[in-house]
Amino acid sequence: MTPADLSRTVLHTVRRAVEADELRATVPARVSVRVPPRPGCGDYATNVALRLAKDSGRPAREIAEVLRRRLAAEPGIARVDIAEPGFLNITLDGAVGGGIVREVLGADFRRGEPFGLRPDPALLERLGSDAARWSLLCPPGLDRDLLLVQRESNPLFRVRYAHARTHALLRNARDLGFTADAGDLSEDSAGPLLAALADHSRVGATRAADRLARHLERTAEAFLRWQADCPTLPRGDEKPSVVHRARLALAEATGKVLADGLNQLGITAPAQL
């Protein structure tokens, strides 16, 4: 289920609640869903109940509860929680995760010319081409010299390290004699990463370089957190299982998304650091 699919599902849920006279409000033309800014808040969040509250005169939390009951019964949705003051946090079913991974692995991300990020010559000489391009997308106040050091606090390093890590996992899996096979991913910690992968095409289509950079940072962070919780490779005498193959496919899809995003920005995506 992509973000666009989920948006349509939420909108359909609103329409059915209005038709059943559970809600008295104007059905919006569209509904947005976004990846929550913090882990533990579901895979996606929507503020549709807050929007409907303005029309209906009912508290947003009451409207959210009406929609929560209906959304929780939809195929592909595992859980729906309400967060104050009326946000709906949606967790997708694990089977959906395999579909997202297969969609990413089968996608053709060729988008033509990369963004025309042109740092001035002094910045290029000081930072090099990759760091200089990324520096144009950094929040104000960030020390640009940080982009030259391989530390966790360096956002460019984190993105490229996550990309290189996916390649290392694929190499090590080949050495162990097993390959990726996208399947169900029921582990909760995979949710933020799957949501980021599903959102990649939408973010890329905006052609907003700064938004793409922040998206790559979120994707890399979600991947590294997930990796810490869910080892992709067997340990010791453990044999590769269906779970290991599904995790390897998720790692492969992550590497593809990170490489595509970096390439769009005109920044190299090395397989090793």
CATH number at residue 41: 3.30.1360.70
**Is residue 244 over pLDDT 80?**
yes
Give residue 1's pLDDT: 66
If asked whether residues 62 and 102 sit together in one domain, one would say: no
If asked whether residues 49 and 172 sit together in one domain, one would say: no
**Is residue 97 over pLDDT 80?**
no
Domain total in the chain: 2
Q: Which two tokens stand for residue 199?
A: 């959102």
- CA-nearest of 219, 127, 194 to 136 is 127
Give residue 112's pLDDT: 64
- Assess if residue 196 is contained within a domain: yes
Please give the share of the chain, as a percent, with pLDDT higher than 70: 95
Residues 246-269: what's their mean pLDDT?
95
Q: Which of 59, 77, 92 is the last residue of a domain?
A: 92
Give residue 188's pLDDT: 65
Please give the share of the chain, as a percent, with pLDDT higher than 90: 57
If asked whether residues 57 and 132 sit together in one domain, one would say: no
Higher-pLDDT residue of 4, 69? 69
- Asked if residues 168 and 248 have their Cβ atoms less than 8 Å apart, the reply is no
Residue 73's CB: how many other CB atoms inside 10 A?
Answer: 10
- Assess if residue 159 is contained within a domain: yes
Q: Which amino acid is at 198?
A: A
If asked whether residues 179 and 250 sit together in one domain, one would say: yes
Taking CA atoms, 49 is separated from 21, 76, 140, 187, in Å, by 16, 21, 34, 28
Count of residues in the chain: 273
**Is residue 4 over pLDDT 80?**
no
Give residue 11's pLDDT: 94
Q: Quick one: residue 223, left, alpha or beta (phi over 0 = left, psi -120 to 50 = alpha)? A: alpha
If asked whether residues 37 and 136 sit together in one domain, one would say: no
201 SS3 class: helix
Give residue 96's pLDDT: 66
If asked whether residues 72 and 164 sit together in one domain, one would say: no
Give residue 3's pLDDT: 74
Q: Judge residue 148's burial from the number of C-beta atoms within 10 Å of its C-beta, 0-12 exposed, 13-18 middle, 19 or more buried.
A: middle
- CA-nearest of 196, 235, 189 to 212 is 196
94 SS3 class: helix
If asked whether residues 117 and 48 sit together in one domain, one would say: no
What confidence tens digit (pLDDT) does each residue in 175-229 have?
999 999 988 776 667 878 888 898 898 888 888 999 999 999 999 999 999 999 8
In terms of residue numbers, what domain contains 177? Answer: 96-264
If asked whether residues 86 and 103 sit together in one domain, one would say: no
Sheet arrangement for strand 87-92: 44-46, 87-92, 77-83
- Assess if residue 273 is contained within a domain: no
97-122 in b/e burial notation, b at 16+ Cβ within 10 A?
bbbbbebbeeeeeeeeeebebebeee
Of 36-50, 83-97, 134-148, highest mean pLDDT: 134-148
Q: Which of 92, 119, 145 is the last residue of a domain?
A: 92
Query: What is the spatial distance between Cα 57 and Cα 42, in angstroms, rounded to a whole number?
Result: 27
Instruction: Give residue for tokens 């010559």.
Output: 121
CA 97 from centroid of its chain's CA atoms? 12
Give residue 16's pLDDT: 94
Instruction: Give residue for tokens 């209005």.
Output: 18
